[in-house]
Amino acid sequence: MGRMSSGPPPDLAVHPCQTLCAWSGTGERRAGKRLFACSGCGSEWVVGQGWTPADADGTVAAEVRAELDGQ
């Protein structure tokens, strides 16, 4: 993953990485922002966290890139 911030908002799930990362949108929103989750560990992310979620192969999912481009 990219740079880490001081921590996630308390309403986002954070779990140890299982190196099975595959990030996608959940269809939910948190604080008005689109919510993404890792299907490998269940961690969650919203834009503005200070880090960018990457899949296990190191690529950033197209959905995540589109969200970053729209911020």
In order along its 71 residues, the chain shows pLDDT tens digits of: 444 444 556 689 999 999 999 999 999 999 889 999 999 999 999 999 989 999 999 999 999 999 999 97
37 and 61 Cβ atoms separated by less than 8 Å: no
Neighbour order of strands in the sheet with 33-38: 23-30, 33-38, 44-45
Alpha helix stretches (DSSP H) within the chain: 62-69
Cα Rg of the chain, angstroms: 11
Rounded to 5°, the CA angle 40-34-16 comes to: 25
Whether this model's pTM surpasses 0.75: yes
